[in-house]
């Protein structure tokens, strides 16, 4: 949350026939605005609505207000007491790329009587803005996978062992055949190329 604060002021004058301003009570400033967003900015447009009860001293005369002063001539005055309202323009611009939400409030209102009969009203504006949340980059989770790897030397050793095992099995098979009493079996399986020899003889028989 980011907060900005500034002060706005306005001076009001009243018709001379009311007398000198002696007091301002129940002073209230209320912001009213609309929010407009563009690609470049967030713009708040509206008014600061001012409402106050005022008290005049009719026994003290004052000079008529000059033309360049803000004169409030629409005042409901009865027995020296009156009430008035006024609207001061509100315009606030913010950069849109850094703000997601905004909230404008009035923090403090003060008033004072000027020597020339005017009423000075000052109010403090607080603007709270919520910055745009940055998207967090996903954290890469590295999972350690245990992989059983075989080195080159281990691979060769395993291959040699497999060859030796195959040769031993073949020798055992040949010894088994040699131990048989069937003369035909011993003639067909008479060497290490038993299967090739058998296929060759079978082929010759097929030709016959």
Of the residues 131, 160, 185, the one at which a domain ends: 131
Q: How confident is the model at residue 76 (pLDDT cuts 50, 70, 90)?
A: confident
Q: Is residue 146 part of a domain?
A: no
Q: Specify whether 49 is located in the same domain as 103.
A: yes
Q: Which domain holds residue 81?
A: 2-131
pLDDT of residue 174: 58
Residue 55: partners with Cβ closer than 8 Å, 6 or more residues away: 21, 22, 23, 24, 25, 80, 81, 82
**Per-chain mean pLDDT for the chain:** 75
Task: Map tokens 């849109």 to a residue.
Answer: 96
Number of domains in the chain: 2
Say if pTM beats, i.e. exceeds, 0.75.
no
Q: How confident is the model at residue 4 (pLDDT cuts 50, 70, 90)?
A: confident
How would you classify residue 37: left for phi > 0, otherwise alpha for psi between -120 and 50, otherwise beta?
A: beta
Q: Is residue 196 part of a domain?
A: yes
pLDDT of residue 34: 93
Q: Is residue 142 part of a domain?
A: no
Q: Specify whether 67 is located in the same domain as 12.
A: yes
Yes or no: say if 88 and 114 are a contact pair by the CB < 8 Å rule: no
pLDDT of residue 46: 95
> Within 123-181, where are the H helices?
152-178
């Amino acid at each position: 949350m980011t907060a900005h604060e500034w002060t706005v002021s306005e001076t009001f004058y009243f018709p001379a026939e009311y007398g000198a301003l002696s007091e301002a009570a129940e002073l209230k400033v209320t912001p009213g605005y609309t929010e407009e967003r563009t690609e470049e900015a967030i713009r708040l447009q509206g008014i600061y609505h001012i409402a106050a009860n005022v008290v005049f001293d009719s026994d003290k005369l004052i000079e008529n207000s000059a033309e360049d002063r803000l004169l409030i001539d629409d005042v409901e005055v009865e027995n020296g007491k009156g009430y008035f309202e006024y609207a001061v323009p509100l315009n606030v611009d913010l950069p849109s790329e850094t703000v997601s939400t905004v909230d404008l409030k009035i923090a403090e209102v003060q008033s004072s009587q000027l020597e020339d009969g005017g009423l000075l009203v000052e109010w403090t504006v607080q603007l709270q803005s919520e910055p745009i949340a940055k998207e967090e980059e996903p954290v890469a989770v590295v999972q350690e996978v245990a992989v059983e790897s075989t080195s080159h030397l281990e691979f060769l050793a395993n291959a040699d062992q497999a060859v030796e095992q195959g040769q031993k099995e073949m020798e055992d098979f040949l010894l088994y055949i040699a131990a048989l009493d069937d003369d035909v079996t011993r003639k067909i399986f008479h060497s290490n190329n038993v299967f090739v020899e058998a296929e060759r003889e079978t082929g010759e028989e097929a030709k016959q």
